[in-house]
């Protein structure tokens, strides 16, 4: 019997291509510079020994630890299975399928649009302005009809830029009482003065996403946070699954938020920011490099001459970076995560070798 499972699938899912995560794309090598992970690992041991009981839905101690770290009240925080779950829960709670829309501003993180597609929610694309990477406030303001959520990634992935506080405040003002502005601060520890956390009091339509996956070097445990006013957090409590955060994750995350571990995280950030400066200076001297974009995060976006050759050569040498050429206004661009000293050096050496071929 011929199976007809595709016909049973929702039409929007039939036509969906899944998110091309670094792990899905694959590659073989020893130098992984494609997922913006931390090259150094913090070392933890799980202190919990028995697991027969379900965890709390929102583990109290973990919420308290993060509240102390960001200087907010506990009721303003939701813990989620990575920041990715926060992106999804917001659409689930606020967007009516086929009726409401989200706005996102490419080139940026793909998961905003993918989650909207899964939920059958409309998508309005308002690209950031070419090369200056500023928010197109004029077009955005003219496109607010039917919009419930606006996703802004700050620092933006993959361009690396920060949006000015002035523009973000204008955005919050023009959307006040109309829709919610979600600022994804997955990389904010690399540029901490640019966080919008202090504006949560002033703007009830502001939502901030955070994660332990990047600066905290804990991508493997899947832990993120949504920060917003109490009313929004209570709405999200309605749609989150009953036990999203495993006991193991909570145990490790609480350790990562202890004072000395926060200090270690900040030292890693200083080190990676230094490596970024080093890498940029070396890349400037390479013939294949056409343009290096300013970055405030643990990755850089670089426009290359013959980008395919560069990508392929590095791939073959086991140095895996991320192709961004298919994205709007990023022709010939590759994104490189900032690695350890050794990894940065390898990358530069291999680029030099390519120049000699």
Ligand X SMILES: *Cc1c(COP(=O)(O)O)cnc(C)c1O
Per-residue buried b or exposed e for 204-237, using 16+ beta carbons within 10 Å of the residue's own CB: bbbbbbbbbbbbbbbbebbbbbbbbbeebbeebe
| Residues 6 or more apart in contact with residue 108 via CB below 8 angstroms | 128, 151, 153, 156, 157, 158, 159
Pick one of 184, 189, 251, 343: the residue that binds ligand X (CB under 6 A).
Answer: 184
Which residues 103-122 are close enough to bind ligand X by CB under 6 A? 109
Minimal distance, residue 74 CB to ligand X, in Å: 20
Pick one of 55, 106, 160, 224: the residue that binds ligand X (CB under 6 A).
Answer: 224
Minimal distance, residue 357 CB to ligand X, in Å: 33
> Which span (80-88, 198-206, 261-269, 278-286) binds ligand X, by CB under 6 A?
80-88
Contact between 347 and ligand X per CB under 6 A: no
Minimal distance, residue 249 CB to ligand X, in Å: 11
115: tokens are 């989650």
Question: Which CB, 19 or 243, lies closer to ligand X?
Answer: 19
Interior angle at CA 284, CA 280 and CA 285, nearest 5: 130
Pick one of 31, 34, 38, 157: the residue that binds ligand X (CB under 6 A).
Answer: 157
Phi/psi for 226 (5° steps) reads: -110, 130
344: number of Cβ within 10 Å: 22
Helix, strand and coil percent figures for the chain, each rounded to 5: 40, 15, 45
Contact between 37 and ligand X per CB under 6 A: no
Pick one of 62, 79, 83, 180: the residue that binds ligand X (CB under 6 A).
Answer: 83
Question: Which CB, 25 or 142, lies closer to ligand X?
Answer: 25
Residues that bind ligand X (CB under 6 A): 36, 82-84, 109, 153, 157, 184, 186, 211, 213, 219, 224
């Amino acid at each position: 019997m011929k199976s007809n499972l595709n016909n049973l699938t929702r039409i929007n899912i039939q036509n969906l291509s899944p998110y091309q995560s670094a792990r899905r794309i694959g590659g073989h090598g020893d130098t992984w510079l494609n997922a913006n992970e931390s090259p150094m690992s913090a070392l933890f041991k799980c202190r919990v020994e028995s697991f027969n009981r379900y965890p709390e839905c929102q583990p109290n101690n973990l919420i308290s630890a993060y509240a102390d770290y960001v200087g907010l009240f506990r009721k303003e925080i939701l813990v989620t299975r990575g920041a990715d779950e926060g992106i999804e829960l917001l659409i689930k709670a606020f967007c009516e399928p086929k009726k409401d829309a989200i706005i996102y501003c490419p080139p940026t993180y793909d998961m905003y649009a993918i989650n909207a597609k899964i939920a059958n929610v409309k998508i309005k694309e308002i690209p950031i302005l070419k090369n200056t990477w500023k928010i197109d406030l004029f077009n955005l303001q003219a496109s607010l009809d039917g919009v419930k959520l606006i996703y802004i990634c700050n620092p933006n992935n993959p361009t690396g830029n920060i949006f000015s506080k002035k523009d973000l405040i204008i955005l919050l003002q023009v959307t006040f009482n109309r829709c919610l502005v979600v600022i994804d601060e997955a990389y904010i520890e690399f540029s901490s003065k640019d966080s919008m956390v202090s504006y949560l009091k002033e703007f009830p339509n502001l939502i901030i996403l955070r994660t332990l996956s990047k600066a905290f070097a804990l991508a493997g445990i899947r832990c993120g946070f949504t920060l917003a006013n109490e009313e929004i957090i209570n709405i999200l409590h309605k749609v989150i699954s009953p036990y999203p955060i495993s006991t193991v994750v909570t145990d490790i995350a609480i350790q990562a938020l202890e004072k000395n571990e926060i200090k270690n995280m900040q030292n890693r950030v200083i080190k990676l920011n230094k490596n970024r400066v080093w890498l940029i200076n070396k890349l400037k001297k390479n013939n294949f490099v056409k343009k290096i974009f300013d970055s405030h995060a643990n990755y850089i976006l670089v426009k290359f001459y013959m980008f395919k050759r560069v990508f392929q050569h590095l791939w073959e040498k086991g140095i895996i970076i991320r192709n961004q050429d298919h994205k709007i206004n990023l022709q010939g661009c590759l994104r490189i995560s900032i690695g350890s000293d050794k990894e940065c050096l390898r990358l530069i050496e291999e680029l030099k070798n390519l120049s000699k071929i």
